[in-house]
Amino acid sequence: MGPESTTGHVRSRREFLTALVIGGASVVVAACSSSPSTPAPAATKPAAGASASAPQPVPTAVAPVTIGKGSKKLEVWHYYGQAQAQPLQKIVENYATVDPTLSFELTFTPGANLLAKIQTAIAGNAVPDIVQTDLVWVPIMIDSQKTLALDDYFKEAKFDITDFFDALLQYDQGEDGKYYAIPMDTNNIQLFYNKKLVADAGLDFEKSPPQTWDDLTEAAGKLTSSSKKQWGLDLGAETTQGAQGALANRHMCMTWQAGSKYFDDKGGRPERGAAAFNKDGGVPAWQWNVDIIQKTKAVPIQPPQNGFVTGYEGMNYNGPWAIPDTLRLIGSKFEMGVISYPGKTADLAGNSWSGGEHFQVFKGTNQDVSAKFIIWLTSPQNIETFAEQAGYIPTRKSVIDGDTYKAWLNKNPLYKAYAANMSKVHPRVPTRLFFDLTIAISNHLEEAIYQKSSVQDALNAAADESLSIMKQKGYQP
Amino acid sequence: MAIASSRTVKVEQLAKHASWRKREWVSAYLFILPSGLLIAAFLAFPVIYSLWLSLLNWDGMSPRMSFVGAGNYQTLLTSHEFWNSMLVTGYYTLGSVPLRMAAALALAIFLNQKVRGLGIYRTFYFTPVVTSGIAVSIVWLWIFDPTWGIANWVLGLVHIPSLQWLSSPVEAMPGLILMSVWKGVGFDMVIYLAGLQGIPETYYEAATVDGAGRWAMFRHITWPLLAPTTFFILVTGIIGASQVFDQVFVMTNGGPLRSTEVLVFLLYQYAFKFFEMGYASALAWVIFLVILAFTLLQWKFLPQDVT
């Protein structure tokens, strides 16, 4: 009841209750259909959310960009921030000469909101012609049965899909063996380091970088100083800003760095079967994580905000998407380098999940021209141009092995470790259950981090829950 | 003849009146039609549709959709995570609502005085209310930074050891409550201010004549006459707290160890991460029923003169 009641204008109980009932119901139910805004995470952190390869989301609305003057308009939804959207626009402008009958409307939506927007669009039958998706979304989109199989278009265009890295194609190929998406850019996770702090600690990563987990523990210990509020290694937020899925993502990398599988193969295809992370390499991998946080105390559970760029972290587990912003924020304070993330043994260093963005076409009246366009968009020349200008890694083997890209890498050495390790990337749960499984697993991994259960018990519980989720959702591992 | 004529006139008048009344009704309905359509499209239909969805097993995208009846409700009410979220939401509500009300009342009483720069103070305290919840949450992430956040610096000034704040399962929720109180206190304060200004000054003058002190005046005049305002703030505060989402989404993602996994965050995860629209809709309806039940209980058990 409002303050006006003190002057005698008392609303009736029934009116008040009715208002509460309607208001309460609408607000609660509305929560089902609205997607929240998402902040831009710190520049040095992998993007928030379960998908650690998502780009830095830009929280502000950006007006759609129209390209070309053709009468047939293709609507393209994407989540590239400004640094990536501009190279994309330049490439799309070139398509006007290929097909002048087309025009494009590029609509930006922050990465954290785009999947919910697509979900709503599918439910409302208001999908765009083309959509850029995080690679972990692709199986979910395929499952919607609204996206177009591209195999016939590949044949017609003589498009060599096998030139793309297999780990990326694992997402794009449905259970029926058909391709529903094409990789545009990719990334993986390696190790940033602060050259000044490393030198001050008497280390030389250029001559002898840490190559094993033991080396990494030793280096992180030397780089940690509680009196200086300085941490040896930042592995990303454990419990905040998307930590739930992020823990499983990190555990995957380390399990592969121990030479093991995270999930078993299914039908000859990797990482689609039953949980394998609770045996072999998965156990020492997470034990190493727990120990470096709880015993060595060289990794903070909650890393300081912008700790790496302000010079308070020796090393930072990160991807190539963060390099431009990190360099900008570091300024002239110090120099940074990038090395392969160590492995359980030196030969396994650099193993990582694969990240990146793919393009898909929705079924509809414009599906043919849209398919032709994304085939053109992902040509070797465009893939290389985009990677170089946007600061991502090329998705095609022929481009990575090509002389022009190697020359570009020589001028941009911070990207070398990412390009060099593309042969060691793996698909991470390339099924429609990516979020279900990574979040469930992360909840158990978190229990081990906080020492509420042993690593083995936590992993066994995670494996049991994974199996239960698969069964519940009708997925045969 | 004259009588017949008079009757005819009367009948004509009645018919005219009826016609005019009918036109009036039609006009009235036409006037409310735009609002009615909007309410039907954006309020009634989604509410009813979500009730239908709660009886289905559907991911919101694929053509696979099956009717499960009360299955989603049954699963929900037997799930550990739902009851954990109920407790977490209860903790947040119990922690934030009384604290916010007490702070708001204190501020309102202070700002109800003749203080220099009153407008500046009121603006100052109200600013967080109109600031984006997401932006505020990001700022508070920095404030709670265990390494160099202001919160630990302030604790250090009074020789209290640093806290882990959002990375501790014990300290994360108090951190969220603190931030929420700061964010929302201005709104309650304005409501209380309006309530205070509705209390006739003559009551205080009479009490002063009778020799009442400040505390006695607060206890016997201000507090009882603010009761309807307090009830309003309490009910809306509990409803708001039961729907907390932004700060959890930005600051903790429900962690650590699910210590901040409130009901609406759980709902969000099921709807937009696990793509279980039926289950999420069932959860939305359960949240609504819980809020409704609490509101009815307050209505029933609070003194009648308050309501």
Summarised one tens digit per residue, pLDDT across range A207-252 is 999 999 999 999 999 999 999 999 999 998 665 555 578 899 999 9
Among A257, A246, A336, A331, which Cα is nearest to A46's?
A246
Q: What is the pLDDT of residue B14?
A: 81
Q: Which A residues in the span 251-290 are in contact with B, Cβ-Cβ below 8 Å? A: none
CA separation for the pair A394, A388 (Å, rounded): 8
DSSP letter for each residue of A262-320: SB--BTTBTT-SSB-TTSTTHHHHHHHHHHHHHTS--S-SSPPTTTTTTT-EEEEEE-G
Whether residue A123 lies within 8 A of chain B, CB to CB, comes out as yes
Judging contacts by C-beta atoms under 8 Å, the chain A residues touching residue B191 are 2-3
Domain boundaries, chain B: 2-53, 71-301
Range from A163-177, A293-307, A341-355, A373-387 carrying the lowest mean pLDDT: A293-307
User: Are the C-beta atoms of residues A70 and A103 closer than 8 Å to each other?
Assistant: yes
* CA distance linking residue B199 with residue B225, whole number of Å: 7
**393-452 of A, contacting B, C-beta below 8 A:** 435-436, 439, 443, 446-447, 450, 452
For an interface test with B, the pick among A13, A28, A44 (most B C-beta atoms closer than 10 Å) comes out as A28
The count of CB pairs under 8 A between chains A and B is 196
Residue A290's pLDDT is: 95
Residue B202 and residue B204: Cα distance in Å, rounded?
Answer: 5
Cβ atoms of residues A345 and A284 within 8 Å:
no
* Cβ-based burial of A15 (10 A; exposed 0-12, middle 13-18, buried ≥19): exposed
Tokens of B261: 């996994």
Q: What is the 3-state secondary structure (H, E, C) of B134-163?
A: HHHHHHHHHHCCCCCCHHHHHHHHCCCCCC
Q: Give the one of B246, B284, B306 whose C-beta lies nearest to A32's C-beta.
A: B284
Taking phi first (over 0 means left), then psi (-120 to 50 degrees means alpha), and beta for anything else, what does residue A409 get?
A: alpha
Asked if residue A325 has pLDDT above 60, the reply is yes
The whole model's pTM is what? 0.86
Are A119 and B194 in contact (CB < 8 Å)? no
Residues of B whose CB is below 8 A from A301: 164, 167, 256
pLDDT band at A308 (very low <50, low <70, confident <90, very high): very high
Query: Which residue in A1, A238, A444, A450 has the most chain B C-beta atoms within 10 A of its own C-beta, making it the best mutation to test that interface?
Result: A1
The rounded distance, in Å, linking the Cα atoms of A278 and A353 is 18
Give the N- to C-terminal CA distance of chain B in Å, as an integer.
62
pLDDT tens for residues B186-196? 999 999 999 99
Instruction: Inform me whether the C-beta atom of residue A145 falls under 8 Å from chain B C-beta atoms.
Output: yes
Which residue in this structure is represented by tokens 């009730």?
B51
- Percent of chain B residues topping a pLDDT of 90: 76
Q: What structural domains and CATH numbers belong to chain A? A: 65-109+127-188+354-426 (3.40.190.10), 190-352+433-472 (3.40.190.10)
**Of A414, A250, A253, nearest in space to A322 by CA:** A414
AA identity, residue A414:
L
Q: Could you give the 3-state DSSP secondary structure of residue A218?
A: helix
- Position A244 scores a pLDDT of 74
| Cα–Cα distance, B184 to B179 (Å, whole number) | 9
Mean pLDDT check: name the lowest of A27-31, A140-144, A441-445, B281-285.
Answer: A27-31
Question: If pLDDT is split at 50, 70 and 90, which confidence band does B306 have?
Answer: low
> What whole-number percentage of chain B has pLDDT above 70?
97
Shortest Cα distance from A422 to chain B (angstroms)?
28
Give yes or no for residue B237 having a pLDDT over 90: yes
* Overall average pLDDT of the B93-104 stretch: 96
Task: Determine the Cα–Cα distance for residues A7 and A27; give it in Å rounded to an integer.
Answer: 30
Question: Can you say whether residue B211 is alpha, beta or left, with left for phi > 0 and alpha for psi between -120 and 50 degrees?
Answer: left
Q: What share of chain B is helix, strand, coil (3-state, %, to 5)?
A: 75, 0, 25
Q: State yes or no: pLDDT of A8 exceeds 60.
A: no
Q: Read out DSSP for B183-208?
A: HHHHHHHHHHHHHHHTS-HHHHHHHH
| Cβ–Cβ < 8 Å for B307, B231 | yes
Nearest CA in chain A to B193: A3
Confidence bin at A40 (pLDDT 50/70/90)? very low
| Cβ-nearest to B250 among A25, A39, A231 | A39
- What's the ipTM? 0.84
Closest CA to B235 of B286, B300, B288, B299: B299
Best of B54, B233, B275 to disrupt the A interface (most A CBs within 10 Å) is B275
Name, in order, each residue with C-beta under 8 angstroms of A72's C-beta and a sequence gap of 6 or more.
A101, A102, A103, A366, A369
Tokens 């309607």 sit on residue: A22
CATH superfamily, domain at B71-301: MetI-like (1.10.3720.10)
CA A204 to mean position of chain CA atoms: 31
Residue A61: is its pLDDT beyond 80?
A: no
Q: How sure is the predictor about B303, in pLDDT bands with cuts at 50, 70 and 90?
A: low
Tell how strand A355-361 and strand A130-134 pair up. Answer: antiparallel
What is the three-class DSSP state of A257? helix
**Pair A369, A102: CB distance under 8 Å:** yes
CA atoms within 13 A on the CB side of B305: 6
Contacts 24+ apart (CB under 8 A), A217-226: A217/A288, A217/A291, A217/A292, A217/A296, A217/A298, A219/A314, A219/A315, A220/A292, A220/A296, A220/A298, A220/A299, A220/A314, A220/A315, A221/A296, A221/A298, A223/A197, A223/A198, A223/A298, A223/A314, A223/A315, A224/A296, A224/A297, A224/A298, A224/A314
Q: Which helix (H) or strand (E) holds A117?
A: helix A111-123
pLDDT score at B116:
81
Counting beta carbons within 10 angstroms of the beta carbon of residue A48, is it exposed (0 to 12), middle (13 to 18) or buried (19 or more)?
buried
Give CA–CA dist A40/A60, Å, rounded: 10
Tokens 């407008």, residue? Answer: B119
